[in-house]
Amino acid sequence: MTADPDHLRRVQLIRKAVLAVCVVGVCALAAITHSATNAEGFHEAWEAFGLALIIICIVGRSWCSLYIGGRKKAEIVDRGPYSVSRNPLYVFSFIGAFGMGAQTGSVLMSCLFTLIAFLVFYATVRREEDWLKATFGADFVAYMARTPRFWPRFSKWRDQDTLEIKPALFLTTLRDGLAFLLVIPLFEALEHAQDVGWVHAMFTLP
């Protein structure tokens, strides 16, 4: 099997398109639902918890980009967060997805956002792994054997003293992470629209 140098770029474009469609669909669902958990300020507390997770996601993704930025096609990155998980950037994205869903005040919507993110990223990872195995062969197979796909194995932590950083790629990852924050004004606007009667909720979610 010959590795196509443009394969990873196409996979990422497809992943972003599918994820965007799914997010739009879930946001449409959120527009016609409301949370059943409003008692004793749970709604606001859940939103604040979600915001904290989004911040963790943004910081974590940016941290991962310091190690992987511009190197994925050239070498196997197995230091820092990539020594304990093969896809730590996606793991932080799962955390951010849960935080996005939490901005609705609904536990179920938080889980739904996370599930969608997992399914989309899982499909992406499988395609990326095929490319990486074709490109790096036995070295990548060995990396797969010692490092979990998602859930970190912290006992495997290894780091390096210095990193060569590409600022443009770091800033791109930071920009992409900041996009997670856009759901906050979006869901606040949807809640306001429901409160004033512009949008009518058809379902109640826990």
Q: Is the pLDDT of residue 3 over 70?
A: no
Helix, strand, coil abundance in the chain, percent, nearest 5: 70, 5, 25
pLDDT tens, position by position, 170-198: 898 888 888 888 888 888 887 777 777 77
Band (1; pLDDT cuts 50, 70, 90): very low
pLDDT tens, position by position, 39-66: 557 878 899 999 999 999 999 999 999 9
Long-range contacts of 1-7 (CB under 8 A, 24+ apart): 1/130, 1/134, 2/134, 3/131, 3/134, 3/135, 4/131, 5/73, 7/127, 7/131
Quote the CA–CA distance of 22 and 173 in Å, as a whole number. Answer: 21
pLDDT tens, position by position, 100-120: 989 888 888 899 889 988 988
Task: Please give the model's pTM, rounded to 2 decimal places.
Answer: 0.85
Band (37; pLDDT cuts 50, 70, 90): low
